């Protein structure tokens, strides 16, 4: 992203997270995937053992 270690140290976690989100969006990152529902999760656990 081009930040120096000092730049990162001077940022709050929220500021850094906002920079990461903006960088990812600007560079074509895909949106977050929705987590599975409880039923989907339990089905995956049953299938995968």
pLDDT tens for each residue of 2-48:
999 999 999 999 999 999 999 999 999 888 889 999 999 999 999 99
Q: Are 45 and 29 in contact (CB under 8 A)?
A: no
Any residues with CB less than 8 A from the CB of 11 and at least 6 apart, and which?
3, 19
Q: pLDDT at position 33, please?
A: 86
Asked if pLDDT for residue 49 goes beyond 90, the answer is no
Q: Are 1 and 23 in contact (CB under 8 A)?
A: yes
Of residues 49 and 21, more confidently modeled: 21
Element spanning 22, H or E: helix 13-26
Nearest to 1 by CA among 9, 16, 11: 16
Q: pLDDT at position 34, please?
A: 92
How far is residue 21's CA from residue 39's CA, in Å, rounded to a whole number?
A: 30
């Amino acid at each position: 992203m081009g930040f120096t270690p000092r730049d990162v140290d001077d940022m709050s976690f929220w500021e850094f997270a906002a920079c990461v989100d903006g960088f990812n969006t600007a560079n074509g990152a895909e949106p977050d995937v929705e987590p599975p529902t409880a039923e989907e999760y339990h089905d995956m656990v049953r299938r995968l053992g």
